[in-house]
Structure 1
Amino acid sequence: MKIGILQTGHAPDEVRDDLGDVNDFFIRLLDGQDFTFDTYAVVDGDFPDGPTDCDGWLITGSKHGAYEDHPWIPPLETLIRDVYAAGVPLVGICFGHQIIAQALGGRVEKFGGGWAVGRQTYDWQGEEVALNAWHQDQVTALPKNATPLASNAHCENAALVYDTRIFTLQAHPEFGDRMIDGLIQARAGSVPPDLIAQAKTNLGKPNHNTRLAAQIGTFFKDRHL
């Protein structure tokens, strides 16, 4: 099964030599599930010809806001709507979670409650799930066809599913401790010091990246979680 990675940003220079670029994180995350990958750096204007070029699509995270004025955002929103209409499975992570909601009629805003950085715990349909996050923007109004799966006190719409066609997460199952430590070094100046200190304290604690990797794989193959 061929997955098209729609890359909406690049990894910071501080981690790229060690960990690779944004697409490499997802290739590692989904390794061993019989996927092949094509990457389209949509952030640089590289788009597929159409929604059926791949068997499934994954939209990555980004430092950009879904509501910002970039020339690649309107065609990405069009592609999202085309993928949804074509019934090709689509997964969105962080920015991907947000831009999908926006493209389908939801609202994305800079959250008044501030940042979430490092390890977070979520109520996932009655179970506690821990994942790394790094965001201030959030989906604050849902498209009519989105169903929430997970939330916490800071992020109401932390995971969404759109019938059997789209699955999105605000957190980063592709981020381990090395990436969070790199982001602390690269972007700490924009985040309150107490949140950075907490993120450092949480380095080394367990998370559910492997579980989410399996869920993403199952969604691509079987259209359920």
Structure 2
Amino acid sequence: MHIGILQTGHAPEALQPEHGLYSDLFETLLAGRGFDFTTWNVVDMEFPESATAADGWLVTGSRHGAYEDLPFIPPLEDFLRKAYEAQIPIVGICFGHQILAQALGGRVEKFAGGWAVGRQVYDWGGEPVALNAWHQDQVVEKPQQAERIATHPFCENAALLYGDRAFTVQAHPEFAAPYIEGLITHRGDKVPDDLLTKARHGLTEPVENARLADSISRFFTERRI
């Protein structure tokens, strides 16, 4: 199955030698599951020819806000609406979660409650699921057609399911502990010290990235999580 990765931001340069690009993190997360990948750097205005150029679309995270006045955001929203209408499965992570919600009528804001960084435990249909996060923006109003399937006291719309068309998550299943540690070092300057300290303490605690990889894979191949 051919998965198109829509890269909406660039990984911190300091982390690229060890960890690669955001697209590399997702290829590693989903390795061995029968997928082949092509990456389009939509953040640099590099878009696929059509919404049917891949069998599924994966929208990455980004340091940008979905609400920002940036050249790539309107065409990305338009592309995602076309893919959604064409019933090409879409998976969105962090910014990808936010931009799809915004494109389909939801609302994204820089959350007044501040940042979520490092390991967070989400309520996933009554079951705790631990994942790493790194965000201040979030979906504050979900689109009407989206079902909330995971939540957190800090982040009400932590994961959304749009029937068999899209599955999006605010957290980062592609981020393992070494990547969070790198973000603390290289992108932690705007995050309060107490949150960085808590995130450091959580680096040795387990997260369930493999579980989310299973869900993403099932969604692409079977349209269910």
- TM-score range (shorter-chain normalised) is over 0.9
SS at match of 1:31: coil
The residue number in structure 2 matching 1:28 is: 28
The residue number in structure 1 matching 2:204 is: 204
Q: Distance in 1 between matches of 2:122 and 2:148?
A: 12
Matched to 1:145, the amino acid is Q
Calculate the TM-score normalised by the size of structure 1. Answer: 0.99
Q: Distance in 2 between matches of 1:144 and 1:215?
A: 23
Q: List per-residue Cα deviations over 1:136-187 (Å, max 9, x = no partner).
A: 0010011110000001110000000001000000000000011100100111
Matched to 2:100, the amino acid is I
SS at match of 2:10: coil
SS at match of 1:189: coil
Post-superposition offset of 1:71: 0.4
SS at match of 1:220: helix
Matched to 2:195, the amino acid is L
Q: Distance in 1 between matches of 2:166 and 2:109?
A: 21
Q: List per-residue Cα deviations over 1:110-142 (Å, max 9, x = no partner).
A: 101100000000000011000000000010011
SS at match of 1:65: coil
The residue number in structure 1 matching 2:16 is: 16
List runs of 5+ in structure 2 lacking aligned partners.
Answer: none
- Structure 1 residue 3 and structure 2 residue 3: aligned? yes
Post-superposition offset of 1:14: 1.6
SS at match of 2:204: coil
The residue number in structure 2 matching 1:45 is: 45
Q: Distance in 1 between matches of 2:185 and 2:16?
A: 13
The residue number in structure 2 matching 1:90 is: 90
Post-superposition offset of 1:80: 0.5
Matched to 1:111, the amino acid is F
Q: Distance in 1 between matches of 2:220 and 2:53?
A: 15
> Runs of 4+ in structure 1 displaced over 4 angstroms?
none
Matched to 1:10, the amino acid is H
Map 1:7-156; keep pairs closer than 5 Å.
Answer: 7-156=7-156
Q: Distance in 1 between matches of 2:50 and 2:160?
A: 24
SS at match of 2:117: strand
Q: Distance in 2 between matches of 1:151 and 1:101?
A: 15
Matched to 1:171, the amino acid is A
Matched to 2:221, the amino acid is K
Identity among equivalent positions (%) equals: 59
Calculate the TM-score normalised by the size of structure 2. Answer: 0.99
Matched to 1:61, the amino acid is G
Matched to 1:220, the amino acid is F
Post-superposition offset of 1:64: 0.1
Q: Distance in 2 between matches of 1:180 and 1:107?
A: 27
How many residues matched?
Answer: 225
